[in-house]
Amino acid sequence: MTAELSDAHDHDHQVVPSDLILRVKALESLLVEKGLVDPAALDALIDAYEHKIGPRNGARVVARAWADPDYKQRLLTNADAAIAELGYAGQQGEHMVVIENTPKVHNLVVCTLCSCYPWPVLGLPPIWYKSAPYRSRAVIDPRGVLREFGLDLPEEVEVRVWDSTAELRYLVLPERPAGTEQLSEEELAALVSRDAMVGVAKVVPPQKAVSS
């Protein structure tokens, strides 16, 4: 991370009025009392996104694509089916598209209108992805945004921004870093970050692969 991107802890969401917390509790108990909501269903939903669905899923998809050229072909031509092969599917990932980064093309994903994001493979989006600074600038100044994330792309690299305005959800297939030929699929998956699958970072080779 560069110095330009602040690791801030003063997000507006942390100045939450205690009144809001009380209102959320009040709404939940009203809905439970009216028989409109089962608290166990709420617990199950929270548990799914806190513990089961997250960027490790997407990392496994990327690692498989790096390790298996046939899988990669299927992933790029029919992402829904290829992702389902690894057992991932579901809400906000019903219609997936995978876009490949190459030495000549860099892809970046945004949703300028709300916060659309491929949940089954990346989990729920981070705050910066949902925030006005990223949503407003990713389309008009993608190179500036990438520089803030520490990625300074040469002029000759073509930048493609994907604005998720419909129900298609985008996953970036990052470039496989050099020096990873000997790594297992599991070791490869461990290298793949959420940010690289949104397109705001590259996958960095592991130190041991560089030195060996």
Identify residues 38-77 at the interface with other proteins (CB under 8 A): 38, 40-46, 48-50, 53-54
Q: Which is nearer to other proteins, 66 or 149 (CB)?
A: 149
Minimal distance, residue 67 CB to other proteins, in Å: 25
Span from 63-71, 158-166, 184-192, 204-212 in contact with other proteins (CB under 8 A): 158-166
Please say whether the beta carbons of 108 and 159 come within 8 A. Answer: yes
Q: Please tell me the distance from the alpha carbon of residue 156 to that of residue 86, in angstroms, as a whole number.
A: 35
Q: Does 30 bind other proteins (CB under 8 A)?
A: yes
71, 86, 163, 206: which one contacts other proteins (CB under 8 A)?
163
Minimal distance, residue 69 CB to other proteins, in Å: 22
118, 162, 196, 203: which one contacts other proteins (CB under 8 A)?
162
**CA-CA-CA-CA dihedral for 178, 172, 192, 2, to nearest 10:** 90
56, 67, 100, 130: which one contacts other proteins (CB under 8 A)?
130
Nearest Cα to 58, choosing from 127, 120, 128, 129?
A: 120
Q: What angle do CA 194, 53, 102 make, to 5 degrees?
A: 30
Q: Which is nearer to other proteins, 127 or 210 (CB)?
A: 127
Minimal distance, residue 27 CB to other proteins, in Å: 7
Structure tokens at 45: 């939903």
Which residues are known catalytic residues? 111, 114-116
Tell me the one-letter amino acid at 191. Answer: L
Please say whether the beta carbons of 5 and 150 come within 8 A. Answer: yes
